[in-house]
Amino acid sequence: MTLIIASVLSTSCILLFASYHHEKKSLTDTYLSLNSSKSQKLSSTVDSLFKSMRISLQETTKFLSNNPDLTDEEIQEHLELLRNNSRYFNSLTWIDETGLVRDIAPISVGIKGNFVAGITKEVVDAKKPMLTKPYMASTGRMIVLMSEPLYDSEGNYRGIIGGSIYLHEKNVLNEILGNDIIDQNGSYYYVVGPDGVLLFHPKTNRIGDGVKGNPIIPKLVQGQSGRERIFNSEGVEMLAAYNYLSEMGWGVVQQTPVSYVDGQLKEHIQNLLLIFLFPFIILLMVSLNFARKLAKPFIDLADVVNQFGTDARIKPPVFNSHWNREADLLTKSLIIAIEAVENNNNLLKEEAMTDALTGLSNRKKLNKSMSRLAEDRQLFSLIAIDIDRFKLINDNYGHQMGDKVLKFLARTVQSNMRAGDGFYRFGGEEFILLLPDTKSKEAYLIAENMRTTIANTISPVGKPITISLGISEFPLHSNTIENLFLFADRALYQSKENGRNQTTVWVQD
């Protein structure tokens, strides 16, 4: 009787312990992954934003170079118009080669006609595109300055066109990143500059401060990206993911308090205890009354439950009808639970290999399919597909329209592909068509049919789009999947180089 009681207690504890650690690892990995994904998306947003800001400055300098007869008043009007329309910068300035502020929008900044000094003067003297670290400007504001050199039509240096972001005032970072930045679970994100100075933070009074004591900040300053469990500068334990933006030298950090995960774990254990409490009492009473007769079935069940603490695949118990109803019910319930876990795991694996936007299989599924074909030494061709000038679609019509174009391409190709072929989203605007038992010559005809169909079909933007394609063949061009991808990508690049909207088959030199 003591042995049975100990077995029941041990089984329950093992189950709770295994469930706790499994849930803890699952929650930690989930929030690190979610934070990593959000950090990457935020980084992409900030990177795209600053590229657009840089292009805006470049277009301004180009316009001024091509219109040398503009007066200062006309240039002032142009800067005012550009600032109001783009809303990228808090102020736009033309500082000539001597450091004199010739024009500034808005004029209310009040430094027109002044000579600049310090970091601003260093930017003027550098004569090259720059993005400064945060510094205190002559106006008393903490700013970040993005600049483009201005040359006249004869190549003479005429100073810079500079766009300033006022860190302690409403700016483009607030507009892009500042909506609902603190989630209900306490997650939030912030942006740091090259020296670990805060450029964006939920606590606006911290903007401009240096971050000390946070172990990921030195890694960001050194150009690293990653995710880990850390104590932040305020001593709060966080699940943090961080991304380094190489072009600007900035870093984006997304983090979730560990206390929230611990709270979920506590709630999970409490729910488990409530679920197990009544069955445990019944089981214990039956065990005390029928110790010897119940020993074997419960020991068998304990052996199965012990498998929850390992990485091995759980084998459901073989159901043998027993005179004791509780033994039968527990065995059946455990079988159902294990089957449910297996089904959920299979569903998660399938979701992990599916692109959420287009519904196509993703790169992981593609690698798996190609590996299986390569292991069987089966002939197949690979068609790499890329939407031409997709960035312009995003820039001109917005990212939502860009997503519609990606879905449109996926539907169009799927409706024209053969049975047995596989279509995958490789990443961004690039897709892969896998053609088993197909040589590259035949794949070329299929690719051309796809290309002309796309080119002759009205896309969501109201007009046709074009695609470029590259083809490689296994094992003709390579016996390795890595090289096959490389050759298809090079062929695609050749299609781009030759003018886009065409198909190229890889030819080995």
| Residues designated as active site | 429
Displacement of CA 229 from its chain's centroid (Å) = 19
Residue type present at position 69: D
**Contact (CB, 8 A) for 46 and 191:** yes
How far apart are alpha carbons 492 and 354 in whole angstroms? 24
HEC secondary structure over 314-350: CCCCCCCCCCCHHHHHHHHHHHHHHHHHHHHHHHHHH
Cα–Cα nearest to 149, from 109, 75, 96: 96
How many CA atoms within 13 Å lie on the side-chain side of 365? 21
Displacement of CA 4 from its chain's centroid (Å) = 52
Task: Tell me how crowded residue 154 is: count the other CB atoms within 10 A of its CB.
Answer: 7
Cα–Cα nearest to 411, from 397, 401, 425, 391: 425
* Beta strand ranges found along 201-350 (DSSP E): 226-231, 237-245, 250-257
**Contact (CB, 8 A) for 145 and 54:** no
> Residue 464, preceding bond cis, omega within 30 degrees?
no
Structure tokens at 253: 């950090």
Beta-bridge mates of residue 228 = 240
Long-range contacts of 291-296 (CB under 8 A, 24+ apart): 291/1, 291/3, 291/4, 293/323, 293/324, 294/4, 294/324, 294/326, 294/327, 295/3, 295/4
Displacement of CA 16 from its chain's centroid (Å) = 34
